Structure 1
Amino acid sequence: METLTEIIGAINGVVWGPMMLVLMLGIGLFLMLGLRLMPILKLGTGFKLLWQGRSAGSGDSGEIPPFQALMTALSATIGTGNIAGVATAVFMGGPGALFWMWCTALVGMATKFSEAVLAVKYREVDENGKHYGGPMYYIKNGLGSRWAWLGTAFAIFGAIAGFGIGNTVQSNSVADVLQSNFNLPPVVTGFILMFLVGAVLIGGIRRIGAVASTLVPLMAIAYLVAGLVVLAINAEQIPAALSLVFTHAFTPTAATGGFAGAAVWAAIRFGVARGVFSNEAGLGSAPIAHAAAKTNDPVRQGLIAMLGTFLDTIIVCSITGLVIITSGAWTSGATGAALTSAAFADALPGVGNYVVAISLAIFAFTTILGWSFYGERCIVFLMGPRAVKAYRFLWIVAVPVGATVSLDFIWLVADTMNAMMAIPNLIALALLSPVVFRLVREYFGKQSETSEAVTE
């Protein structure tokens, strides 16, 4: 096990090295500038379309309404990354890591927008009316046969990575937090999760979308309210916390208390890595869900899709990060969900740790559901629909296994697989960016013409 950990650790050091961070942030910045800051400027339009997308138009093709598509994508992104991942980033990189998470999210909005646009543009429909899309399809249909190997590589990495980022990491974190707060044995947690996941997966994307559209908004709002209450209690510490975030984004963080200290590179590396783990912008996972949306306009879905990154990182992760820093718990030596629990419990004794435990459990449960869909779509691309049942069986069995293994090893594998997924997707986004820019010009050109016609 130690040898395997060392090998994966060495690979992780390469794939999450300077070149990956430059690629991740660089492609996002390139897309943001190519879109002329549109994702930021049209944020309000995105929320308006999201509200309208609670139900699909009669002439729209797809499987689930646009709102459910976003909730399915958010179900996969709002998980342990928002609670344990943020804490790990601050523990390893210091308060400055939160700043780099924000940077990743801002450029990630352009990345997520572009992914969804291409997913809807190049999706395929089978004889049963099911819609299939995502990086493997926009590589195949957008870049042509000579790039087919790149789409296959993404699908392979995606099918495997799901067992890390979307399954075992989630069940492991739930088992850990429920054991520490409710003394529930990890094995029991694992089998309860396995039963619940299996019950939902039987219904496919429609049931996943229905469950996600109910649980995700409910728990996200509850968690945000609890976080805002804690920040209100720690209000006097907020200016100092923000100062730490911006200062240590560019200067080393000295060792203090149980915090070992961190270089600027650590803040950047863990801020970007955990930011990507949380919002998945650039990984190519979310467009698989958005490809199933009932819509005939790629840009409209892109405007809705980019909200996922904003809500996940700019809102939810910021609340977690600021709660941890304002509480002072980040210097305690604790990490992961335990650090977040300690931060909430500091302001809300006897209540805060339970808020974190319940939130993480539900967030992780919905993440397992969302990622099961991603993995299944990757398997369909590689082996056809008949392989779904076998993959689904392995997925359900992996849940209790993940609940009982080492968290450090699981995080390492998940981190590595994230990067392996991202590389083919980022290459495709760069090559297909002219298509995205053209579709955006056409969409807003029509909007402008319609507006002028109404005025006249």
Structure 2
Amino acid sequence: MAIYNAIMAFTNWMWTFPILALLIGGGLVITVACDFVQIKHFGYMLKATFGDAAHSKSEEGISSWSAMVATLANTIGTGNIIGVGSAIALGGPGAVFWMWVIGFVAMALKYSEALLGVYTREKDANGQWRGGANIYLAKIWKPLGWIWAITCCFGMAIGCGVHTGAISSSVHTFGVPSLITTVVCCVIIVLVILGGLGALVKVTDKLVPAMAIIYMAAGTLLIILNIQNLIPALISVFTNAFTGTAATGGFAGAALAATIKNGCSRGVYSNDGGNGSASILHAQANTNEPVKQGMFGIFEVFMCTMIICTFSAMVILVTGTWETGDPGSVLAINAFGTIGLPGRLLASISLILFAASSALSMSTSAGILAESLLGKAAKRIMQILVVVCCFIGGTIGVDAALPWVDFGNMWAILVHVIGIMFWVPKMRELTLDFFDRLKRGEIQE
């Protein structure tokens, strides 16, 4: 217990300033260097991503759309429901503002991950793409690629456990034993792992868009039913962002530091911006334009944090459930529960689908990363470790597993963001060249 407390105390301190400074600073550097790509070319980003959806099949490898959706399956997970609830429960409404701040810079960070993943990838002996942050960080300093890979594998294994814990905890509220749910989850994950990347995209291409639309539609309905509270909720987000939140109802109150820390850390938990994991699947995309693939990285964060997380936050705020003092893990579900059992069921099903897609995506990415480093034997060992973590997470529940996400993310972000700063000149060159060629009509939109 003493070791655990020491680890968590150090993790909390790191997230209070050093990691946040690195994320925000690094994201702003990339934003400026790449000519404010997530702002100036936002329209092109939407056109490129949705345009690719219409012709997403690829004869070789997977399409840019499928690579993005598979990565989006990773990012749209428990962070969008439980993470948002946790941020508000510990930081108050102002935490949502800082979640948006981290989302803005995370767009630049995800852009860089997708761009560099494609730009630096290599083909192996079997003609398959081998790419990811381990490749482009190793080109800076070889040990850096290995260090990142180890931290990322650890983080993804822990993340799979958290997502399985979220599923078992949610289903347990309906009387289903956690052990049964956990075993079912592990079996499904094993089946997808055995099917490889092809099996993953077959699931995520259909599951991710459907679950996002259903969740947002339900959230819209709940907000409309509480429309009189929407403006006050938005005002509370901005007024509490720089002051903290006083105790009210069952809410214990939050100092400004807690508001910023929880908003930013849970924002990163929701979109994975900066930890480099997205580069693995983006590197598999069948495209010759690294910058265009970077647009898909921007879209991921926009969809995940700016849209879905905002829906969760508004649902929690307009219904007033954040004032009950309940744990963050149940705030969104309780908010949907204000319209009765159908709402509670829909929120629980959404959480289950979000968590399942994330666990499937993470387990596949972890296997790809391990194989690229040490071969097929390492891939199998990593996959076994993932399943073990899923079983542990499912049995102990999400609240016990969630603190370890910050610990795993912390190390991956620390290594990755420092490393990609050395790629900033090249990213700027590629970005400016791409949009110059696009303007001259040399690239088909």
TM-score, with normalisation over the residues of structure 1?
0.94
| 1:202 partner SS | helix
Change (3 A) 1:288 1:364: same
User: C-alpha distance in 2, partners of 1:432/1:175?
Assistant: 41
The answer to whether 1:415 aligns with 2:414 is no
1:53 CA displacement? 2.5
User: C-alpha distance in 2, partners of 1:304/1:77?
Assistant: 13
Q: Choose the corresponding residue for 2:270, options 267, 278, 285.
A: 278
The answer as to whether partners of 2:287 and 2:293 remain within 8 angstroms in 1 is yes
1:56 CA displacement? 5.8
1:41 CA displacement? 2.4
| 1:212 partner SS | helix
Change (3 A) 1:10 1:50: same
* Cα offsets for 1:22-54 (capped at 9, x unmatched): 110111111112222221222221222223323
- Aligned-residue identity in percent: 34
Aligned equivalent of 2:152: 158
The answer to whether 1:249 aligns with 2:241 is yes
- The more displaced of 351-360 and 442-451 is 442-451
1:290 counterpart letter in structure 2: H
Aligned equivalent of 2:169: 176
Aligned equivalent of 1:100: 98
* Cα offsets for 1:378-401 (capped at 9, x unmatched): 312432233212222232233222
User: C-alpha distance in 1, partners of 2:156/2:40?
Assistant: 33
1:306 CA displacement? 1.0
* Cα offsets for 1:366-387 (capped at 9, x unmatched): 1011111221233124322332
Q: Choose the corresponding residue for 1:200, options 176, 192, 203.
A: 192
1:438 counterpart letter in structure 2: E
User: C-alpha distance in 2, partners of 1:326/1:231?
Assistant: 7
The answer as to whether partners of 2:244 and 2:255 remain within 8 angstroms in 1 is yes
Q: Choose the corresponding residue for 2:316, options 296, 319, 324.
A: 324
1:26 counterpart letter in structure 2: G
Aligned equivalent of 1:382: 373
1:361 counterpart letter in structure 2: I
Aligned equivalent of 2:429: 438
1:343 counterpart letter in structure 2: A
The answer as to whether partners of 2:114 and 2:279 remain within 8 angstroms in 1 is yes
* Cα offsets for 1:188-211 (capped at 9, x unmatched): 100111111112221111110111
Q: List runs of 5+ in structure 2 lacking aligned partners.
A: none
| 2:247 partner SS | coil
| 2:284 partner SS | coil
TM-score, with normalisation over the residues of structure 2?
0.96
| 2:336 partner SS | helix
Change (3 A) 1:350 1:57: closer
The answer as to whether partners of 2:166 and 2:397 remain within 8 angstroms in 1 is no
The answer as to whether partners of 2:26 and 2:417 remain within 8 angstroms in 1 is yes
Question: How many residues are paired up?
Answer: 444
The answer as to whether partners of 1:81 and 1:278 remain within 8 angstroms in 2 is yes
User: C-alpha distance in 2, partners of 1:107/1:15?
Assistant: 19
* Cα offsets for 1:386-433 (capped at 9, x unmatched): 321222223223322211115344111111110100111101221101
The answer as to whether partners of 2:169 and 2:397 remain within 8 angstroms in 1 is no
Change (3 A) 1:126 1:253: same
1:162 counterpart letter in structure 2: M
1:339 counterpart letter in structure 2: L
The answer as to whether partners of 1:156 and 1:382 remain within 8 angstroms in 2 is no
Aligned equivalent of 1:32: 31
User: C-alpha distance in 2, partners of 1:22/1:224?
Assistant: 32
Aligned equivalent of 2:111: 113
Give the ranges of 4+ consecutive aligned residues of structure 1 lying more than 4 Å apart after TM superposition: none
| 2:126 partner SS | coil
The answer as to whether partners of 1:96 and 1:245 remain within 8 angstroms in 2 is yes
- The more displaced of 300-309 and 125-134 is 125-134
